[in-house]
Structure 1
């Protein structure tokens, strides 16, 4: 049985606006995979999903992390929270920001959550 991956803590630059104690920052919620853990996906948030992927590559001598999907959110931290809730409902297992599930299914979840959350802002 494969062990679960060890996640790297997500960080994001923040803007001046805040909700409570948490800064609001626009950015992306992303799904990243690595063939070393084929059953697991990482869902996080960042200002730039491509730059986050590049950071992940420094942790692997094989440079084998793959960005499966990234979805823009006005508030990426809140978007990530909503995505984690939905992914947790569908995943076989959860370990922090890592979910044991199909990567394409995870991509569909964050896309669907993104549409729902961002469309509510237009109302």
Structure 2
């Protein structure tokens, strides 16, 4: 899933917390798709619609200073479903307050069930 757009109030600066800005999430999940392929039943796989709603809610709640904190929160949300073996999460902050011309600021992490909080 790519390009999940969220509006949140994260950032070190007071104006970021006050005014908010767009954040964009990309997810790559490691799941075994064979059960769903065999059954053709949604119950046998990750419900991407529900996951996107949960990720969006995780990004948009509880403002914090660092995108590192937010991206870990997203990974934890993905790994909450026991069928997700690993999650690669990229959080984009395209409007980061940097005094230079740039196209994006992004952080990517990969977490597995064994290192969800490492």
Q: Does TM, scored on the shorter chain, surpass 0.5?
A: no
TM-score (norm 1): 0.30
TM-score (norm 2): 0.31
Greater Rg by CA: 2
